[in-house]
Amino acid sequence: MWQSGPGLTGEEPTVDWYLPLKLVHVLSAIVAVGTNVTYFVWLAAMKDRPPAEQSFALDTIKKLDSRLANPAYGVLPLTGVIMILVSDGVAFTTFWILFAIGLYILVGVFAGALFAPSLRRQTELVATDVSDSAAYEAAARRTRTTGLLTMLPIAGILYLMVLKPTP
């Protein structure tokens, strides 16, 4: 991590920030994606439960999203951009970086335009005690489906970040 100039030139040692940034970047990805994956466990576990338990599960998902996943997703582009700026040989024009940035934007669109409204609607319906209605079942199905659609580009980003394919 510490670097100094060649020989005894009297230069001050400098810090190579790439690896510490990469550690924060990877830990943020683990927290963000890991938290998102638990939503499917929560959604499956609450199925056919009383409304109060379903409400608790949905509120927990919202809290996990706002307190863990979303802040971690916010750290990812910051550390990613800084890593590119301090690295030697990696540029924004690198295929896997460009494609991952596009997928990250797609995740934001899916999450904001599809998953969040679906989860919000399902939460509203369970709060009105209609968790056994067709409208609630449709909302629950939409939440699961949009959650899965949001996870697909995330899987693509993970693939790109780990394997770094170049056409």
Q: How far apart are the two ends of the chain, measured CA to CA in Å? A: 32
Asked whether residue 5 is assigned to any structural domain, the reply reads no
Please enumerate, as own/partner, the contacts of 40-45 that have beta carbons within 8 Å and a separation of 24 or more: 40/144, 40/147, 43/140, 43/143, 43/144, 43/147
Mean pLDDT over 159-163 rounds to 97
Asked whether residue 14 is assigned to any structural domain, the reply reads no
Asked whether residue 141 is assigned to any structural domain, the reply reads yes
Backbone torsion region of residue 48, taken as left when φ is above 0, otherwise alpha when ψ lies between -120 and 50, otherwise beta: left
Residue range 3-43, pLDDT digits in tens: 545 555 667 777 899 999 999 999 999 999 999 999 999 99
Question: Is it the case that residue 101 has pLDDT exceeding 70?
Answer: yes
Asked whether residue 147 is assigned to any structural domain, the reply reads yes
pLDDT of residue 12: 75
Mean pLDDT of all residues belonging to the chain: 92
Query: Domains in the chain: how many in total?
Result: 1
Helices then strands (H, E): number in the chain?
A: 6, 2
Asked whether residue 50 is assigned to any structural domain, the reply reads yes
Max Cα-Cα span within the chain: 77
Supply the range of the domain harboring residue 72.
Answer: 20-163
Asked whether residue 109 is assigned to any structural domain, the reply reads yes
pLDDT of residue 83: 96
Asked whether residue 113 is assigned to any structural domain, the reply reads yes
Half-sphere exposure of residue 69: CA atoms within 13 angstroms, side-chain side: 21
Asked whether residue 4 is assigned to any structural domain, the reply reads no
